[in-house]
Structure 1
Amino acid sequence: MKNAIITASTKGMGRAISIIFAKEGVNLAICSRHDDELAAFKTELLTINPNIKVFTSVTDCSVKQQVLAFAAAAEEALGDISIIVNNAGMYTYSSILDDTEDAFQKQVNTNLMPAYELYRYFGKKMIAAKDGHIFNICSIAAISPIAEAGTYSVTKFALLGLTKVMRLEMQDHGVKVTAIIPGSTLTDSWKGMVVDKDKMVLPEDIASAVINIYKMSVGANVDEIIIKPAYGQI
């Protein structure tokens, strides 16, 4: 049985990806800032597949020490981790010139740091095992920046850049690295706004892409995949 660690796992894309890996028979280490959400989701996942293990951790992914503690605890509970899904992220609607004083550091710590730290924690272990797949959930803003979400765009640019470096470091060792680049996706980022879900990408679409990429032959890697709304960006 393979073991996966998925950040920000109880909502949106993280939730959908966790469910699809559970159906595939993968043991899961999931995290959230809310204990009640984790407990309910663990029960749901074990109902979907009673044969897997689910490890939960209350973790604020913007805090390095908590990210590393989650990694260590997940490894201790499940064993070797061979799948990483870096899903944690935050979207702030603000131009760079209108950012609050802490906006840059807060978004770097949420959108970039967890992927960097989990890579450093697990990367050499994956190399030694000659096995692993890292998925970084980027954003279309990494390719087409959004002026009204300036710092978000910068951090997603950085995450895509990090993904490319990861791939170069890992490709000689049989470890795969994939950038998932979603357009307008129906997640909590849109809470409070009136949107037409039939004109958006759904979290289940992202999960479907992830699992199909994961199940490709050992010699195939999807470097990056862009998934945008059929009617264009919202």
Structure 2
Amino acid sequence: MKNALITGATKGMGRAIAFAFAKQGLNLAICSRNIKELEQIKAELLNINQQISVIVVEADASKKDQLLNFAATAEQQLGSIDVIVNNVGIYHPTSITDDDEDTFDLLMNANLRPAYELYRYFGKKMAAAKQGHIFNICSIAAINPVTNAGTYTVTKAATLSLSNIMRLEMQQYGVKVTSVIPGSTLTASWDGVEVDANTMVLPTDIASAVINIYNMSAGANVNEIVITPVFGQL
């Protein structure tokens, strides 16, 4: 069995991807900041596939020590990690000039640092094994800047750049790296806002794309995939 690690897996895209991989028969290591939500999703995942192992760790992925403890726990309990989904992130709808004093550090630590630290932790191990697949959940903001979410845009652009570097460093070892670039997606970021689900990308759409990319032949890699609402951004 292959082993997948997903950050921020109790909601939105991370949750949908976790269920998609469970149906594929992958063991899962998932984290979030809420242990009750983790235990709930663990039960749901095992309900759809009792053959897999699901490891849950309460962790704030924006904090390096907690993130690396999650990585080490996953490795200890499952063995080598074959798939990493860097999903965790925070959307912050302000212009840079209206940011709070801690906004930059908050968003860099939540949106960029987890992918960077997990790559440093697992990258050489995947290279040595000559296999693995890393999915970095970026944002359309990385390509088309959003002025009312300035620092968020910067961190997602940095994540896309990091993803490109990962792919170039890993390609000689046969390790795949894919940047997933969603437009307006119906996740918790939209809580409290009245929206029409039929005009948005759904988390299951992202999960479907990830699974299809993962199932491609060993010699094929999708460098990046952009998925946007058919009627345009909200």
Q: Specify the TM-score bucket, using the shorter chain as the normaliser.
A: over 0.9
2:187 is equivalent to residue 187 of structure 1: yes
2:38 is equivalent to residue 38 of structure 1: yes
Q: 1 CA distance for matches of 2:62 and 2:119?
A: 15
Amino acid of the structure 2 residue aligned with 1:81? I
Q: 1 CA distance for matches of 2:122 and 2:220?
A: 21
Q: 2 CA distance for matches of 1:112 and 1:32?
A: 16
Q: Which segments of structure 1 move beyond 6 Å, counting only runs of 4 or more?
A: none
2:90 is equivalent to residue 110 of structure 1: no
* SS in structure 2 at match of 1:148: helix
2:81 is equivalent to residue 81 of structure 1: yes
Aligned 1:1-234 pairs, distance under 5 A: 1-234=1-234
Unaligned runs of 5+ in 1: none
User: 1:28, CA displacement in angstroms?
Assistant: 0.1
Amino acid of the structure 1 residue aligned with 2:212? N
Output the aligned Cα RMSD: 0.3
User: 1:195, CA displacement in angstroms?
Assistant: 0.1
* SS in structure 2 at match of 1:101: coil
Unaligned runs of 5+ in 2: none
Q: Deviations over 1:143-189 (max 9, x none)?
A: 00100000000000000000000000000001000000000000000
User: 1:105, CA displacement in angstroms?
Assistant: 0.5
* SS in structure 2 at match of 1:172: helix
Q: 1 CA distance for matches of 2:227 and 2:166?
A: 21
User: 1:8, CA displacement in angstroms?
Assistant: 0.2
Q: 1 CA distance for matches of 2:67 and 2:108?
A: 14
Q: TM-score normalised to the size of structure 1?
A: 1.00
Q: 1 CA distance for matches of 2:202 and 2:48?
A: 20
Q: TM-score normalised to the size of structure 2?
A: 1.00
Q: How many residues align?
A: 234
Q: 2 CA distance for matches of 1:28 and 1:61?
A: 16
User: 1:225, CA displacement in angstroms?
Assistant: 0.2
Q: 2 CA distance for matches of 1:86 and 1:198?
A: 26
* SS in structure 2 at match of 1:217: coil
Identity rate, percent: 65
Q: Deviations over 1:183-222 (max 9, x none)?
A: 0000000000000000000000000000000000000000
